[in-house]
């Protein structure tokens, strides 16, 4: 089986569920194809997440055109340092960039603020901190951007979608310091059980992705085990983090049932009961 070949459709869920975090613009299929495959397995809603100004515009436009799509808009934590300090090497998706300084970051944040005001935009994110890909020189720009997104989410009454990579303590510190929005979602939850208890006490939603199925992910499963069912979401983060046994192949919203069934086993819950809870939680988190 080719590593580039799409995995087969899993057995459909009996109860509708939502994919709380996906990137349809990074997947090979059209939006219509992605939504049709997802609906075939009872994944009836997706949250399309923007990572830069262009992607956030696309998310808002796609949500406006498709009732099953809900948008979240933001500058990814790694985007803020690129805007401020430039990126001479670029990435596969984005070419080299000249430094824009604080003025360029303010301009980009103003665009995110305007998009967040739209009715069909339900979240502000993914924002947060990422100390894996960004070195010490980019930390200040990341935190400034994170704090600005928190204020945007609160101003417009939208969910805050957090990207937290190798930055648990600092993310929690900023949320405490700035004051978290009423609805806060840890996308691709990556903390341990102790952090899950802290998040639960604060009322933060924890969204689990396909990596909860990986052999080396016992700390994630321990966190899921203690996370209250009323605060648990499921996501693909597609095209990334494809669940086992398809790890390394392209991910898409139609694979949500694979992850959800693994989650139900970890939590000792009936599959239908977890799917019901997850859909209700996602609708509550993103107000749809």
**Residue pair 25/49 in contact by the 8 Å Cβ criterion:** no
Could you give the CA distance from residue 144 to residue 105 in angstroms, rounded to a whole number? 9
End-to-end CA distance of the chain: 39
Angle made by CA atoms 251, 188, 12, in degrees to the nearest 5: 45
**CB atoms near residue 33 (< 10 Å):** 14
Could you give the CA distance from residue 126 to residue 121 in angstroms, rounded to a whole number? 13
The annotation status of 21 as a binding-site residue, yes or no, is: yes
The annotation status of 187 as a binding-site residue, yes or no, is: yes
Could you give the CA distance from residue 60 to residue 122 in angstroms, rounded to a whole number? 9
The annotation status of 70 as a binding-site residue, yes or no, is: no
Could you give the CA distance from residue 4 to residue 61 in angstroms, rounded to a whole number? 29
The annotation status of 126 as a binding-site residue, yes or no, is: yes
Could you give the CA distance from residue 162 to residue 81 in angstroms, rounded to a whole number? 17
The annotation status of 23 as a binding-site residue, yes or no, is: yes
Could you give the CA distance from residue 211 to residue 224 in angstroms, rounded to a whole number? 12
Q: Enter the tokens of residue 72.
A: 């979240």
Q: What are phi and psi of 46, to 5 degrees?
A: -135, 150
**Residue pair 188/166 in contact by the 8 Å Cβ criterion:** no
The annotation status of 163 as a binding-site residue, yes or no, is: yes
Q: Which residues are annotated as a binding site for a divalent metal cation?
A: 21, 23, 126, 163, 187, 237
Q: Which residues are annotated as a binding site?
A: 21, 23, 126, 163, 187, 237
């Amino acid at each position: 089986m080719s590593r580039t070949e799409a995995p087969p459709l899993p057995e459909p869920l009996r109860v509708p569920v939502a994919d709380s975090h996906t990137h349809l613009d990074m997947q090979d299929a059209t939006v219509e194809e992605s939504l049709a495959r997802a609906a075939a397995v009872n994944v009836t809603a997706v949250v399309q997440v923007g990572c830069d100004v262009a992607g956030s515009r696309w998310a808002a436009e796609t949500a406006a055109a498709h009732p099953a799509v809900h948008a979240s808009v933001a500058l990814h934590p790694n985007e803020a340092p690129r805007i401020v300090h430039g990126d001479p090497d670029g990435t596969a998706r984005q070419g080299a960039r000249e430094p824009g300084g604080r003025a360029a970051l303010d301009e980009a944040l103003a665009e995110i603020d305007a998009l967040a005001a739209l009715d069909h935009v339900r979240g502000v994110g993914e924002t947060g901190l990422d100390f894996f890909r960004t070195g010490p020189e980019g930390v200040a720009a990341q935190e400034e951007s994170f704090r600005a997104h928190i204020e945007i989410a609160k101003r417009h009454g939208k969910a805050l979608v957090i990207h937290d990579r190798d930055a648990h303590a600092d993310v929690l510190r900023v949320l405490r310091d700035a004051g978290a929005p009423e609805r806060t979602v840890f996308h691709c939850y990556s903390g341990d059980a102790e952090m899950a208890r802290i998040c639960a006490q604060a009322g933060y939603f924890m969204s689990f992705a396909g990596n909860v199925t990986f052999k080396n992910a016992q700390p994630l499963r321990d966190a899921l085990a203690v996370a209250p069912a009323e605060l648990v979401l499921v996501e693909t983060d597609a095209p990334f983090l494809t669940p086992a046994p398809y790890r390394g192949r392209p991910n898409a919203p139609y694979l949500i049932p694979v992850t959800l069934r693994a989650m139900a086993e970890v939590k000792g819950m009936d599959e239908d009961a977890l799917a019901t809870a997850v859909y209700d939680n996602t609708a509550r988190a993103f107000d749809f």
